[in-house]
A and B are shown apart, each in its own frame.
Chain A
């Protein structure tokens, strides 16, 4: 469904993704794991083309999306739904208006049909009865659910999740995980989840990828990743902090430089 080939990207001078190669077959749930700052969310943003790479290709059904015009890629975006880390709900609109927005703007459906479809999506995520609530009136977990309902509005083929459990308590996070599982089993969507929560990852993944410092260091089934012996993968899986490496000269320079 999606293939990333030799992707390199920079923020200014700093290289963020370093020759990343990944496959995301149709109907599979891929969890991308890694510590903070390893480039996981950046990779996701490149797949939805919110950012452009320095070099490399991203193929959607064998079509390279990088050279496409905005208009062309917007047609592909309709098949992709994304849940952002903070849900990114539009604060000036009610939940129902948030979920209905893509349907109103991208389809010719009647208002009454849109209202029904919106309520179906909200019911799917367990927010039936909250249609007229504003985002500011919702808890963190409810915002994520509303964001997910909006991502599902256009019945996408692909769902992207950027740290779906971030900022949530374990019970609410487990609720989001079971929602993802429900969607996976019911709709057989291609799902890509970026997270650093191991428990969530092993619960939902068909395949996993571990990233470190902008590179893919391991990819495979959850069992293969669990038994991977690479030092950085072991360190991540076993929650071992980075050791302190003292460079005396560097430390002294940092104290005395302007």
Chain B
């Protein structure tokens, strides 16, 4: 019994320490991103743009390809069920709404967590282990300002862009399937998608994508800064950042989907 209580106690304290550390990092990053510029300490836009290219532009091929396949799969599975009711007309709406409201932002976030979240953890973890972060601090340069804020800004800008690309690719994938198997024309699919979608479908997806982007950056950077113990520590941090990010992304998705559902 004592062992169980000790285990629970240790892990609870560890969890609280983790949350507290995340909060500290987020508060500092928010200060440098949104308050310090008004006090004559501007954001390092050069670094931010470089991160936008790395995390955003370079992810376009993988995000669009996976989303294209996802759209085809959605079309296939949707048609399989809806054919029983003679309702294959609604496959287009199914693909469009599913992609924009849910699968576009979610799949993009999962891909970026694996691609960029792990890269953030590995980069910062390696810098921590080789004392580069200490060297930055020793020069009087704030490591959060120089290393974390550009990544935050990059993700805030690029996640919605990537989500839109994902939505389009998914819809195109579904359209390709429908044109091949359901005897629809491109114009029919385009028209049906336009009729099915409302602005809210797209905006809810984009809001989610920004939140997911913040989660990926926070966890990736925090894991990187927390690395101890050399190469093994960097490896552990990289894995943890992906796993924890994906878990929190799904959790946030549940919360936001419920909010959007109950607020109509």
Contacts and interface: CB of A to CB of B under 8 A. Distances in A.
Contacts of B135: 82, 84, 88-90, 150
A88 B139 contact: no
Interface stretch (A99-107, A180-188, A195-203, A250-258): A99-107
B138 interface: yes
Interface stretch (B12-20, B126-134, B208-216): B126-134
Given A86-B131, A88-B131, A90-B132, A106 B137 contact: no
The secondary structure that dominates the A interface is: mixed
B140 A50 contact: no
A73 B134 CA distance: 15
Contacts of B137: 50
A70 B136 CA distance: 13
A82 B138 contact: yes
A105 B126 CA distance: 23
Given A82-B135, A84-B135, A74 B130 contact: no
A105 B141 contact: yes
B140 A85 contact: no
B132 A88 contact: yes
A75 interface: yes
B201 interface: no
Contacts of B134: 45, 50, 84, 88
Contacts of A45: 134
Select the residue from A45, A73, A88, A89 with max chain B CB neighbours within 10 A.
A88
Nearest to A78: B140
A242 B262 CA distance: 72
Interface in B225-260: none
Q: Give the interface size bracket for A toward B.
A: 20 to 34
A106 B138 contact: no
Nearest to A162: B131
Nearest to A51: B134
Contacts of B127: 90
Contacts of A91: 126, 130, 132
A85 B131 contact: yes
Contact of B141 (A48, A82, A84, A102): A102
B130 A106 contact: no
A77 B131 contact: no
Contacts of A154: 139
Interface in A83-133: 84-86, 88-91, 101-102, 105-106
Nearest to A73: B140
Nearest to B41: A71
Contact of B131 (A80, A84, A106): A84
Contact of B139 (A73, A86, A102): A102
Contact of B140 (A75, A88, A89, A150): A75
A62 B141 CA distance: 24
A77 B130 contact: no
A154 B140 CA distance: 11
Contact of B142 (A70, A80, A86, A90): A70
Contacts of A74: 140, 142
A48 B132 CA distance: 15
Interface string B131-163: 110111111111000000000000000000000
A86 B140 contact: no
Nearest to B126: A91
Given A50-B137, A82-B135, A88 B130 contact: yes
A192 B136 CA distance: 20
Interface string A142-186: 000000001000100000000000000000000000000000000
Contacts of B131: 84-86, 88
Interface of B: 126-127, 130-132, 134-142
23 contacts: A77-B138, A77-B139, A77-B140, A78-B140, A82-B135, A82-B138, A84-B131, A84-B135, A84-B138, A86-B130, A88-B132, A89-B132, A90-B132, A90-B135, A90-B136, A91-B132, A102-B139, A102-B140, A105-B139, A106-B139, A106-B140, A150-B135, A154-B139
The 6 closest A-B pairs by CB, nearest first: A77-B140, A74-B140, A88-B135, A88-B131, A82-B138, A84-B131
Interface of A: 45, 48, 50, 70, 73-75, 77-78, 80, 82, 84-86, 88-91, 101-102, 105-106, 150, 154
Given A45-B134, A77-B139, 7 more contacts: A74-B140, A77-B140, A78-B140, A84-B134, A89-B135, A90-B135, A91-B126
